[in-house]
A and B are shown apart, each in its own frame.
Chain A
């Protein structure tokens, strides 16, 4: 029998099947820093039948919004998001990369109009999902280093 390295949580979210090594970036996307009020468990480099190795993030007492899930899709398109209520998986969701990433990324072009004080959200057109390539709808530039530009 396998020993559980991470104990089950009562309520919250389990983000599973994160590509190995990206768990800390997922934490960044979720804004998990100093002001966290619940327990966050991170398991890195966990054996996985499907992926070889994977990372897992468990956040107690928090359910993710669709925008947060979209952001996770930008860096971990294989991830699954399980909503846990009273120790049971209440919802199982695979993250899906939208065709357009609205308000998720900041354009790297300092001269792009979306970086000026204008009342618009950034918007990127997903040109290819694997490898991920996105182009700013406004200035037409392809965004390099996508993770570094997550809002």
Chain B
């Protein structure tokens, strides 16, 4: 019925607006199961393979928990030590082997395009859980769920993205999705870390206006959603470039004095200094809730793809 059964989730751009809305509504229904207050066995007898070629705690554990909450089982590896990958097996061969052991495959890999390649070598649905600096669509879905759950809609919301907009994959995927969903976008970054031109072109093609600035102070009062990201050292080819921009923005109580009462502050975590700990106590802080939304969103997605529930 949903058109999700057996489907690969490789990039948020593969999902239409209707697809995204379907996942968000399904996630809302999953919330009590995720919280353990309602039981479901909808994926009983199903096996999910989680292949994590590089370590991840949050993403891997939430997929495993999601599968367990729905009565399914998980197998896989985290880090390639002791696996045939270390013996030099190609990703294509590993996928062909794992296919026969599982009903769906979750893949995190350090190289861009790995999930799309994996999907070509198996009939099983592949869910991309991050490919290098590339895509991480389930992160985007939980970001979208958080905005939708907190604000009720996307249309007309002023969403401000702050930090490393050049290398940050979460803000790229989120921008594509929010452009599809009709939000007003504002981009705040140091001059050397601006949103790539092709993404800005895409937003324009969608007929949306956006704002770009280097100063958060200029736009804080108009924002409904503030999406803050860490400036990631590991994404910089040049360490000096990192040093120059590290710590460019800090969201603290002082800057929030001008903010709307209903402003929500999001962050994909882990954070460094870009959000002061004092902000955690304010009504604006939803980043921990955002992290916990990973569970109902991933449960909903697995349920739609593996078709456990009618």
Contact = CB atoms under 8 A, between A and B. Distances in A.
Interface in A125-151: 136-142
Q: Which 6 A-B pairs have the closest CB atoms?
A: A138-B113, A139-B112, A139-B113, A113-B113, A113-B111, A113-B114
A66 interface: no
Given A136-B113, A139-B112, A139-B134, A113 B91 contact: yes
Contact of B111 (A112, A119, A120, A140): A112
Given A113-B114, A137-B113, A138-B117, 4 more contacts: A117-B88, A118-B90, A138-B113, A138-B116
B62 interface: no
B90 A119 contact: yes
Interface of B: 11, 88, 90-92, 109-114, 116-117, 120, 131-135, 198
Contact of A140 (B11, B88, B114): B11
Contacts of B90: 116-119
Interface in A89-116: 109, 111-114, 116
28 contacts: A109-B112, A113-B91, A113-B109, A113-B112, A113-B113, A113-B131, A116-B111, A117-B88, A117-B90, A118-B91, A118-B117, A119-B92, A120-B92, A120-B117, A120-B120, A136-B113, A137-B116, A138-B112, A138-B113, A138-B116, A138-B117, A139-B112, A139-B132, A139-B134, A140-B11, A140-B112, A140-B113, A142-B198
A137 B135 CA distance: 13
Contact of A111 (B11, B92, B112, B120): B112
Interface of chain A, main secondary structure: loop
Interface residues of A, number: 17
Nearest to B116: A138
Contacts of A118: 90-92, 117
A59 B110 CA distance: 45
B2 to A, nearest CB: 26
Contact of A113 (B88, B117, B133): B117
Contact of A114 (B109, B113, B132, B134): B113
Counting chain A CB atoms within 10 Å of each CB, which of B88, B91, B112, B114 scores highest?
Answer: B112
B116 A111 contact: no
B114 to A, nearest CB: 5
Contacts of A138: 112-113, 116-117
Interface in A9-62: none
B232 to A, nearest CB: 15
A111 B91 contact: no
B258 to A, nearest CB: 37
A119 B92 CA distance: 7
Nearest to B11: A140
A140 B116 CA distance: 10
Counting chain A CB atoms within 10 Å of each CB, which of B90, B111, B120 scores highest?
Answer: B111
Counting chain A CB atoms within 10 Å of each CB, which of B88, B117, B120, B198 scores highest?
Answer: B117
Nearest to B93: A119
Contacts of B110: 111
Contacts of A141: 112
